[in-house]
């Protein structure tokens, strides 16, 4: 009864809060029942996640999670699918399930993500071989969704200005084990020029008030004010405009927020359409998401009557609202092409707003990359890389690696940072790192450097220098697997059990002669052929963390 009373108290407070009044106005505009909206907006979200279809054991992962109560999210159209669970977000029904959920997430087999936030990448539909900029990437759920959608090919440039959040982004993306990622740190409003012709896809999921996230952040009912949105609007417009200026002709850009507020949504889109006349709104196909309630964007809006509601302190001129005065009528029609995912719709999600643009302008290059091609240019000196910057791998070192590990040089670009060796995609080097680029004021950056980008991560770590030589990183097995499985040491069932449970098996029992050091081992498991790194000395020792070990035990020894 205590929990029920707590929810009733929250609901009662929410109903008379400024955010509740905003929700009432939005429901009236959409035609939704406010009481039903409030019921759901004050209850926690269910657990949801995306499945990674690029793992050898993707089928096993889905079957195992289905056994734990997971059900397919039917409207999710991406490869691999997504699942919802019958418990609140972050609160599994048992310790065993909690350990499993952590293990499949941390090993990159799934990504735990709110269902509503999966929409931008589904709508953008990035393809293998394209270049994509995620302007506000941390913590990285959309970034990893794009990496997987692109099948680990092409290039995803993930940007995060905050140092701590950039490190979080790096950890969250490394576990996916794909090579098509560069992470950099910039203020999104001033993201540097890149190579011609610009990005194929830009994702501008901008900082916002989060007014549609009350199901995971109940404190918003107390904190939200109309001024919160107006304080962020200029930032949102400037970030999205920079993305639009880096978008190549024919490219796609997604603008999105987890807000119900017109100030952060349709008002920003209207300003972008005025500032960037080469942008056109796509009419998002609702048939792509069967069963999901998507409302059209608002073409007119009146804010709540704060004075009449006894909240006169919120009624400040220019603080809140939406006006298209001075714009053409067809701009109102365009805004109907935006989509709102209401809280309390059929999908049991949080709320979301999304707008899909296409660059329909003329020319060959993104707006930010245009300059007078006839002027005399000088070359700028490139600043030296610092110790945190990935740099191209020395050719002799690369040759020694390829002699030991049977990888194809042309399949990757090769980088080193500290004691780690990274494999990236070829376009990472050929398109982003090597070409010269215009630096403004009649000068060029000469190329063969990331500069002016502040890159902190490139590719996926595949090897690390340790005592005794190079050791493979288990996170990279998604891309190393096909290259190394033919040379892996095949273990019998009993030997694999000894390897997992320790100690053993012994080197002399493996029939590998005098071979020592880093090796790959393989065995048959419930999820398919297991290929993982190990260290071979007198005994064969696992080189996997606790999460991967749990998965291997479930696939080979335990009942799920």
Task: Kindly indicate the confidence band of residue 192, based on its pLDDT and cuts at 50, 70 and 90.
Answer: very high
pLDDT in the model for residue 316: 55
pLDDT in the model for residue 115: 95
pLDDT in the model for residue 109: 96
Asked which of 110, 136, 155 is the last residue of a domain, the reply is 110
Q: What Cα–Cα distance (Å) separates residue 415 from each residue in 162, 367, 428, 483? A: 24, 31, 10, 19
Asked which of 91, 110, 129 is the last residue of a domain, the reply is 110
Average pLDDT, the chain: 90
Token pair 């063969």 in the structure block, residue: 448
Q: Taking the CA of residue 245 as centre, how many other CA atoms within 13 Å lie in the half-sphere pointing to its CB?
A: 16
| Contact of 174 with 168, CB cutoff 8 Å | no
What's the predicted TM-score (pTM) here?
0.94
Give yes or no for residue 54 having a pLDDT over 80: yes
pLDDT in the model for residue 344: 72
The answer to whether residue 35 sits within a structural domain is yes
> Is the backbone peptide bond immediately before 197 cis, with ω within 30 degrees of 0?
yes
pLDDT in the model for residue 549: 92
pLDDT in the model for residue 351: 95
What residues make up the domain containing 498? 488-556
The answer to whether residue 21 sits within a structural domain is yes
Percent pLDDT > 70 in the chain is: 94
pLDDT in the model for residue 122: 97
The answer to whether residue 508 sits within a structural domain is yes
Q: What are phi and psi of 353, to 5 degrees?
A: -130, 140
Q: How far apart are CA 126 and CA 150, in angstroms?
A: 6
Task: Kindly indicate the confidence band of residue 472, based on its pLDDT and cuts at 50, 70 and 90.
Answer: confident
Task: Enter the tokens of residue 107.
Answer: 């090993």
The answer to whether residue 162 sits within a structural domain is no
> Is the backbone peptide bond immediately before 139 cis, with ω within 30 degrees of 0?
yes
Contacts for 131 with CB less than 8 Å, ≥ 6 apart: 154, 155, 157, 199, 200, 201, 427, 431, 432
Torsion angle (degrees, nearest 10) of CA 320, 325, 329, 331: -50
Asked which of 110, 143, 164 is the last residue of a domain, the reply is 110
Give yes or no for residue 146 having a pLDDT over 60: yes
pLDDT in the model for residue 315: 57
Question: H or E element: which one contains 200?
Answer: strand 199-205
pLDDT in the model for residue 486: 81
The answer to whether residue 117 sits within a structural domain is no
User: Considering only 172-176, 212-216, 250-254, 519-523, which range has the smallest mean pLDDT?
Assistant: 519-523
Q: What is the mean pLDDT of residues 108-114?
A: 96
Residue (of 165, 223, 178, 206) closest to 18 by Cα position: 223
The answer to whether residue 55 sits within a structural domain is yes
Q: What Cα–Cα distance (Å) separates residue 367 from each residue in 187, 271, 360? A: 19, 17, 12
| Contact of 227 with 306, CB cutoff 8 Å | no
pLDDT in the model for residue 313: 60
User: Considering only 35-44, 69-78, 228-237, 326-335, which range has the smallest mean pLDDT?
Assistant: 326-335
The answer to whether residue 13 sits within a structural domain is yes
Task: Kindly indicate the confidence band of residue 319, based on its pLDDT and cuts at 50, 70 and 90.
Answer: very low
Total domain count, the chain: 2
Helix (H, G, I), strand (E, B) or coil at 532: strand
The answer to whether residue 394 sits within a structural domain is no
Q: What is the pLDDT of residues 362-414, one digit of tens each?
A: 999 999 999 988 888 899 888 888 888 999 999 999 999 888 877 889 999 99
pLDDT in the model for residue 324: 54
pLDDT in the model for residue 184: 96
Q: How far apart are CA 146 and CA 141, in angstroms?
A: 9
List helix spans (H) across 16-128: 18-30, 34-41, 58-67, 95-106, 119-124
Percent pLDDT > 90 in the chain is: 67
| Contact of 527 with 468, CB cutoff 8 Å | no
DSSP secondary structure string for all residues of 234-296: HHHHHHHHHHHHTEEEEEEEEEEES---GGGTHHHHHHHHHH-TTEEE----GGGSTT---EE
pLDDT in the model for residue 321: 43
CATH number of residue 8's parent domain: 3.30.70
User: Considering only 94-108, 158-172, 442-456, 504-518, which range has the smallest mean pLDDT?
Assistant: 504-518
Q: How far apart are the first and last CA of the chain?
A: 34
Q: How far apart are CA 423 and CA 106, in angstroms?
A: 20
Beta-bridged to residue 520, according to DSSP, are 533
């Amino acid at each position: 009864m205590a929990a029920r009373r707590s929810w009733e108290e929250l609901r009662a407070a929410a109903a008379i809060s400024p955010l509740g009044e905003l929700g009432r106005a939005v429901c009236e505009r959409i035609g939704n029942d406010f009481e039903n909206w409030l019921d759901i907006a004050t209850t926690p979200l269910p657990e949801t996640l995306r499945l990674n279809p690029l793992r050898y054991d993707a089928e096993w992962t889905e079957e195992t999670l289905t056994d734990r109560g997971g059900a397919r999210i039917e409207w999710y159209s991406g490869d691999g699918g997504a699942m919802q669970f019958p418990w609140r977000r972050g609160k599994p029904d048992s310790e065993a399930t909690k350990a499993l959920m952590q293990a499949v997430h941390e090993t990159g087999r799934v990504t735990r993500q709110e269902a509503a936030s999966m929409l931008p990448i589904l709508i953008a539909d990035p393809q293998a071989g394209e270049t994509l900029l995620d302007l506000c990437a941390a913590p990285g759920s959309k970034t990893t969704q794009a990496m997987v959608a692109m099948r680990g090919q092409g290039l995803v440039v993930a940007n995060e200005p905050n140092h701590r959040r950039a490190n979080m982004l790096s950890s969250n993306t490394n576990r996916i084990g794909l090579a098509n990622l560069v992470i950099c740190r910039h203020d999104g409003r001033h993201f540097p020029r890149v190579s011609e012709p610009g990005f194929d896809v830009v994702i501008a999921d901008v900082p916002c008030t989060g007014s549609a996230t009350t199901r995971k952040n109940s404190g918003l009912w107390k904190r939200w004010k109309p001024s919160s949105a107006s304080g962020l609007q200029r930032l949102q417009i400037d970030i999205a405009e920079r993305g639009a200026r880096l978008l190549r002709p024919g490219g796609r850009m997604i603008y999105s927020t987890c807000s119900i507020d017109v100030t952060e949504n349709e008002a920003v889109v209207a300003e972008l359409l005025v500032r960037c006349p080469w942008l056109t709104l796509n009419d998002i196909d609702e048939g792509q998401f069967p069963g999901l309630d998507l409302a059209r964007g608002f073409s007119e809006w009146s804010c709540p009557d704060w004075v009449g509601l006894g909240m006169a302190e919120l009624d400040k001129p220019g603080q809140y609202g939406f006006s298209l005065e001075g714009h053409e009528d067809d701009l109102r029609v365009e805004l109907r092409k935006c989509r709102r995912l209401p809280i309390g719709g059929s999908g049991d999600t949080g709320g979301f707003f999304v707008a899909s643009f296409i660059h329909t302008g003329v020319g060959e290059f993104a707006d930010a990359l245009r300059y007078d091609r006839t002027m005399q240019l000088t070359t700028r000196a490139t600043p030296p890389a610092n110790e945190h910057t990935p740099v191209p791998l020395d050719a002799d070192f690369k040759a020694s690696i390829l002699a030991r590990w049977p990888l194809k040089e042309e399949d990757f670009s090769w980088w080193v940072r500290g004691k780690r060796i990274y494999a990236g995609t070829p376009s990472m080097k050929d398109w982003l790192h090597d070409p010269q680029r215009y630096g403004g004021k009649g000068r060029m950056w000469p190329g063969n450097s990331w500069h002016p980008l502040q890159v902190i991560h490139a590719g996926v770590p595949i090897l690390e220098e340790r005592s005794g030589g190079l050791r493979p990183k288990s996170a990279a097995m998604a891309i190393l697997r096909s290259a190394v499985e033919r040379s892996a040491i095949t273990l019998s069932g009993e030997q694999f059990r000894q390897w997992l449970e320790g100690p053993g098996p012994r080197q002399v029992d493996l029939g590998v002669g005098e071979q020592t050091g880093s090796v790959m081992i393989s065995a048959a498991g419930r999820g398919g052929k297991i290929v993982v790194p190990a260290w071979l000395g007198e005994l064969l020792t696992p080189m996997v963390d606790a999460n991967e070990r749990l998965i291997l035990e479930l696939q080979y020894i335990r009942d799920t």
